[in-house]
Structure 1
Amino acid sequence: MKNSIKQILYFPITKIILGITVCFSLFVVIQNFVLKPFFYSIITDKSIADPIIIFISTILLIVNYYFLFRLYDKRKITELSLKYFPKEMFGSFIFGFLTISLSIFILYLLGNYQFFSITTTQFSVRTFTVILFAAIVEDLFHRGLILREIENWLGTHIAIVIAMLVELQHISNPDFKLFDLSLYLIWGFTMSMMFIYTKRIWLPYFFHIGWNFAQPFYGSNLTGGTDNGTIIQSKFTGPELLTGGAFGIENSIFTLSFLLFIGIAFYYLAKKEGKIVKGKLFKR
């Protein structure tokens, strides 16, 4: 009986469900019953209070995850290892930002992108902290938890496919079209390969932040959203295939091609270094 309970408790799907449920439950309780009442009582301006609350919430979610799986798995939480943190933080943020920048540069050369002025009044600190938080939710649970558990259980290739399918939850984003499926599938593949290569969430996480920040920076919509503000006041013209249309520059054929190339490059490196593995299920 005890062995059966233990098998259920440590079954990968159980761990994924419990991990997400417990981490989010603790986060929601602390944010709504501790952080918000406290900061709203001492800071009347929500435009100042909210970024602080969101930033602390981001740290809180990581801490919740760390201690839960430290107790649950009784292991080192290598996916949150800080061994190469400075390099992965700055390097991958710049990498993500430059990937979008390259698409913008090509559009500029083709005459499909015009910029008029630069202003920070339309881009708030709150927007940036939301980008930080949204990215950690996705990368901590999609890569750090779901991908890691499935790879350990069923192997790298099956884990990549499942991770790609998990990204399809984004089809509810504004201005979604059938072609947008390619973005989510390629994104899931490339982000998975970044995690699989490093076995840490930081490379995909900070690439994600750089990628998302670059879009409103250049005046583009962000995954169909128009309320993120902009820094460079600009204009996109031409076919949606090139500009990404209302969805944003990340859906441009240029950006998708760069993203796929990055994913293939990391797959090649991971395979070369023996990081493409069979899961425990197939080792028996």
Structure 2
Amino acid sequence: MRLLKQLVPAVVVAAAGNAAVQAVGGNPYLTLVLGVATAALALFVYARTVRWSERREPAEVAAAGAVAATGRGMLIGAGMFAAVILNIAFLGGYRVDGLGSVTGAVAMIGFMAAAAVTEEVIFRGILFRIVEERLGTWLALVLTAVLFGVMHLFNAHATLWGAIAIAIEAGGMLAAAYAATRTLWLPIGLHFGWNFAAAGIFATEVSGNGASQGLLNGVTSGPALLTGGGFGPEASPYAVVFGLLLTVVFMSLARRRGNLVPLRRRAAATLSR
């Protein structure tokens, strides 16, 4: 019941906000404003529903330290994508043909802010956190990572391998980032930094959603096994490897900080039946 009380409002905000952002896709400045507004509304609604359904202050979205943690996440996410694209470029799968579009990059800030915040609220703030209470950190990570990958199967140019790659490199990594810090700010920053670097800087496809206009006029070519094909570099083996490495780092931090939640005995007994 608590899951539904939090999930339904979050999904409604995400659906309405992202639809509004898509509807004004031709206007980069309206896209920016509506995207940031959707992100802010999603966080506000999440905080209110947690207070209402759990009778506690939502420390995971507390304002203290939010800017620093989000900034760190953005740097890690953007740096991780840059490492992926540089490795692809080294093997001839990506090149830059001049400068791209500043207004396109502005639009991507709004679009990716809405996507990153709403998805992190739903998948890490609600699903992972509540499932973790019953099934423990590791099972919650696996289950929500699979759901995150399945969600990306509905994108325009989605592939099964792309969805599997997203589940491994992003679903696992972002849940691990939450487990390590117990706030949503680092996962939100990671998610935004990765997506904005992919679309708003390097102008590559993001999760099968088609080509983007970024600060660079990037051209991807070569075998899909290397570049990720129509799904984008997220389906590249480089992205999977780097995502797995960060997952290991974050889970190691979570273990050292005592943040790993064990499987509850009652839940274990239920699963074994």
Q: TM-score range by the shorter chain?
A: 0.7 to 0.9
Aligned counterparts, 1:15-164, within 5 A: 15-25=2-12, 47-121=28-102, 123-164=104-145
Aligned equivalent of 1:215: 198
Deviation for aligned residue 1:63: 0.8
Aligned to 1:231: 215
What TM-score does the superposition give when structure 2 sets the normalisation length? 0.86
Residue 247 in structure 1 maps to residue 231 in structure 2: yes
Residue of structure 2 equivalent to 1:256: 240
Distance 1:103 1:23 in 2: 32
Residue correspondences, number: 261
Distance in 2 (CA, whole Å) between partners of 1:283 and 1:234 is: 49
The 2-side partners of 1:27 and 1:96 are apart by 22
3-state SS in 2 of match to 1:115: strand
Q: Structure 1 residue 194 and structure 2 residue 177: aligned?
A: yes
Q: Deviations over 1:162-198 (max 9, x none)?
A: 2112111211112222222321221211111001111
What is the percent sequence identity of the aligned residues? 22
1: CA distance, partners of 2:15 / 2:89? 43
Deviations 1:139-164 (A, max 9, x none): 01110111111111221122112211
- In structure 2, the CA distance between the partners of 1:180 and 1:19, relative to structure 1 (3 Å rule), is same
Deviations 1:2-59 (A, max 9, x none): xxxxxxxxxxxx1121212234557888x7xxx99xxx9xxxx955444323322221
- The runs of at least 4 consecutive aligned structure 1 residues that moved more than 6 Å come to 26-29
5+ residue gaps in structure 1?
1-13
Contact residue 6 and residue 53 of structure 2 kept, 8 A:
no
Q: TM-score normalised to the size of structure 1?
A: 0.82
**Helix, strand or coil at the partner of 2:104:** coil
**Structure 2 alignment gaps of length 5 or more:** 269-273
Q: Deviations over 1:228-274 (max 9, x none)?
A: 32321122232211111111112111111001110011112212322
**Residue 219 (structure 1) shift:** 2.5
In structure 2, do the counterparts of structure 1 residues 232 and 47 end up closer, same or farther at CA, with 3 Å as the change threshold? closer
Q: What's 1:170 paired with?
A: 152
1:283 Cα offset (Å): 9.0
Distance in 2, matches of 1:23 and 1:95, equals: 26
